[in-house]
A = this chain, B = another copy of it.
Amino acid sequence: MSPFAKNLRTAVCSLGEERLIQAIRRWLGSASPQAPFGIGDDCAVLPASRGPQLITVDPVIYGRHFDDAVPARAVGAKLLKRNLSDLAAMGGRPTAAVLALTLDRRTTLAWLEGFYRGLAAAARQYRVPIVGGDVAQADGVVSASLTLLGEATGPRVPNRRGARVGDWIYVTGRLGGSLRLGHHFRFTPRLAEGAWLAARKELRAMMDVSDGLAKDLHALTPPNAEAALEPEKIPCRRGADWRAALTDGEDYELAFVIAKNADRDALQRDWRRAFPRTPLTCLGRFVRRGELPASAPRLDELHGYEHLR
């Protein structure tokens, strides 16, 4: 669905700011709480946090993260889910979100309604109140940036550092072909899995896979080490080979590291009981730099998605 109107009477500029904000509140419905705890003041007011807080921000931009082929509802849902995937990687649960929208004045009300209704449906599903935001205008632009607040689900907040030589590399779900298969807007963020893993003492480090594992794994790799993956073990989505699985991107799966001496059978058994429908795969382990087996892919020579090139 194209966001741009041919007839300006169907565009946001026909409404004006005040009626647009009223429409946004209607489209968000119960996903947006009433003021003073939501839209309509200079700031939204949130209750005090129960512990350490998590915050992340990610956009969706027309021509970059979506195009005319993607339904507007899917764009709105994807925006929230991309951010939830980042929160999952830190073992968090969401508490609130604010949205900054930038629109060309020719953006259709139909596209905008679809976008907000898709966002609202996902916000209700994942219990994330949309507490505020901003709408600004810029020629030729349709973009939305969502800032997500969350909290830790337990005493520990895992991060990307902590892996050591000998540790095991795991990934949830399957990789590759996300854009072709529509996974990039149909995925389920791994919130439950992330919270479960954050509570496991054998977890050393975790992140979400969004730019392709070949690129993203770099952030989990300790200095003086390399990731020795076994290509035949890489769980590929339909129609993707292991190269595609490592480089296509938009997977929104969790990659994580398990201590080398951990009881991995127990981990995998417990996982299957907790998440019988989410594949869990050990892809290999970290080895000392220079000791990469001949069979392991050279990740530096594969290119995940690189921004701003």
Residues of A within 8 A of B (CB): 12-13, 15-17, 20, 35-36, 40-59, 61-65, 85-87, 89-90, 92, 96, 98-100, 102-103, 105, 131-141, 143, 145, 147, 149-150, 157, 159-161, 207-208, 219, 306-309
Contact B102 A59 (CB under 8 A): yes
Inter-chain contacts of A161 with B (CB < 8 A):
35-36
Inter-chain contacts of A86 with B (CB < 8 A):
42-43
New A-B contacts (20) at CB < 8 Å, excluding given A48-B51, A56-B132: A16-B308, A41-B207, A44-B55, A45-B52, A45-B159, A46-B52, A55-B147, A57-B99, A57-B100, A58-B134, A59-B134, A61-B102, A61-B136, A63-B138, A64-B137, A100-B100, A100-B147, A103-B308, A105-B308, A136-B307
Q: How far is the CA of A62 from the CA of B17 in the complex (A)?
A: 20
Q: How far is the CA of A205 from the CA of B160 in the complex (A)?
A: 45
Contact B145 A100 (CB under 8 A): yes
Contact B45 A54 (CB under 8 A): yes
**Closest approach, in angstroms, between the C-beta of A224 and any C-beta of chain B?**
18
Inter-chain contacts of A64 with B (CB < 8 A):
136-138
In this complex, the member of A15, A65, A139 whose beta carbon has the largest number of chain B beta carbons within 10 angstroms is A139
Inter-chain contacts of A99 with B (CB < 8 A):
57
Inter-chain contacts of A52 with B (CB < 8 A):
45-48
Given A56-B132, A100-B145, the answer on whether A160 and B40 have CB atoms closer than 8 Å is yes
Contact B160 A59 (CB under 8 A): no
Contact B159 A36 (CB under 8 A): yes
**Closest approach, in angstroms, between the C-beta of A15 and any C-beta of chain B?**
7
Contact B149 A55 (CB under 8 A): yes
